[in-house]
Amino acid sequence: MPSLRHTALLLLPTLITAVTLDCNHIRDSGASWDLSKLSGPKTVHRVRWERPSIENTTFTIDICTGLPKDPKLNKDEQCASGTQVCAKEWDYHREGEGWAKGFVKKVIEIAGEFKTSHGRGMDPKVTRLKGDAGNEDDKEGLRVELHGGKYPNERSGVPQKAVIELLCDRKVSGNEGFEEEKNSIDTEGFGRMGRRDDDEDSDEPELPDLDEGKNLKFISYKKEEDTEVLRLRWKTKYACEDARGSKDPEDEKKAGWGFFTWFIIVLFLLVATYIIFGSWLNYNRYGARGWDLIPHGDAIRDIPYIVKDWGSSVVERLRGGDSRGGYSAV
């Protein structure tokens, strides 16, 4: 009969492969994608007026790995370890003429690896959009489904699921707009908000757009049958079927600059090593001092004069170009 340790070792590879989606090698129906350039936390929002307060639900996603902890928030205000899609519901109330600072009202683990807490794994599912029965517009890209979450995060909680539709758009990388993340609405910004212009009798404020400039868009978050489903749409060139294996101009630029930088560094180190070793040798062998310590010191001291003479000769040649081809007037 196999020991418990032996059984755990046999199950270990299965558990490891189930933890995350392999963003470097995604395949379905003969097509393949590399989504590793989309890794890292990305946040979109659903901002709603829920009288008498404003509800801002932030959905943070990393399709490639687990989300990091936010040191600014308490443990109870964060999703559990292993979460890859997390929702936080912020609530803001009026305070005089302005708005009180928001607080985290609800935390929902939508997708991730939670086998140790309530037994559900992420079980990622990838579907190629081309040829899919539900793709009436014949869009190019892929659909990624991530599971595992429950709310509350226990066995009796309501199952959660995230559906991310990645659409091919060769003009954008999909990472635009995330340089300065806005995970919540600042109190000062709330204080400047006024009532909607289209309804003077309503106390509903003009809500801000926290996802302006982003290619990742919130579509819906609602119950579908017995599961709460988050739907997102993401335009990116990495969802194109011919993107994998093609050269990325940004990568080529970085690679070229890296080679040039290393060339300068290596050249500088070689010159510095030669000067230091030569100076040490001249000092110990000949007792040299000052400029005599430096190898070829005389030649180095003559460099300014050599450059000056070379510059003068170039100027004279340029001036000579204005003459009449060497012929003098008769």
Question: Which one has a higher pLDDT value, 114 or 282?
Answer: 114
Cis peptide preceding 249, ω within 30 of 0? no
pLDDT tens per residue across span 206-222:
888 889 999 999 999 99
**Chain position carrying tokens 């890859």:** 84
> Percentage of the chain with pLDDT > 90?
41
Distance, in Å, from the CA atom of 42 to the CA atom of 114, rounded to the nearest integer, reads: 21
User: What pLDDT was estimated at residue 1?
Assistant: 45
Question: Which one has a higher pLDDT value, 184 or 35?
Answer: 35
User: What pLDDT was estimated at residue 193?
Assistant: 55
For residue 185, the number of C-alpha atoms closer than 13 Å in the C-beta half-sphere is 29
Give the distance, in angstroms, between the CA of residue 61 and the centroid of all CA atoms in the same chain: 11
Distance, in Å, from the CA atom of 175 to the CA atom of 173, rounded to the nearest integer, reads: 6
User: What pLDDT was estimated at residue 268?
Assistant: 86
The residues facing 231 across adjacent strands are 163, 220
**Chain position carrying tokens 């060769």:** 170
Q: To the nearest whole number, what is the mean pLDDT of the chain? A: 80
Residue 12 scores a pLDDT above 60: no
Q: What share of the chain is helix, strand, coil (3-state, %, to 5)?
A: 30, 30, 40
Q: Report strand pairing: 227-236 vs 158-168.
A: parallel
> Per-residue pLDDT averaged across 56-75, rounded?
92
**Chain position carrying tokens 């030569």:** 278
Distance, in Å, from the CA atom of 95 to the CA atom of 97, rounded to the nearest integer, reads: 6
Cis peptide preceding 2, ω within 30 of 0? no
User: What pLDDT was estimated at residue 112?
Assistant: 95
Q: Label residue 242 by pLDDT band (50, 70, 90).
A: confident
CA distances from 45 to 211, 223, 233 (A): 7, 18, 13
User: What pLDDT was estimated at residue 115?
Assistant: 84
User: What pLDDT was estimated at residue 7?
Assistant: 41
Q: Report strand pairing: 53-61 vs 42-50.
A: antiparallel
> Percentage of the chain with pLDDT > 70?
76
pLDDT tens per residue across span 90-127:
998 887 767 777 889 999 999 999 988 778 899 999 99
User: What pLDDT was estimated at residue 298?
Assistant: 67
Query: In the chain, which ranges are continuous DSSP H helix?
Result: 4-19, 187-191, 249-286, 297-301, 303-320
Residue 237 scores a pLDDT above 90: yes
Question: Which one has a higher pLDDT value, 78 or 250?
Answer: 78
Q: Label residue 63 by pLDDT band (50, 70, 90).
A: very high
Distance, in Å, from the CA atom of 287 to the CA atom of 291, rounded to the nearest integer, reads: 12
Residue 18 scores a pLDDT above 50: no
User: What pLDDT was estimated at residue 199?
Assistant: 55
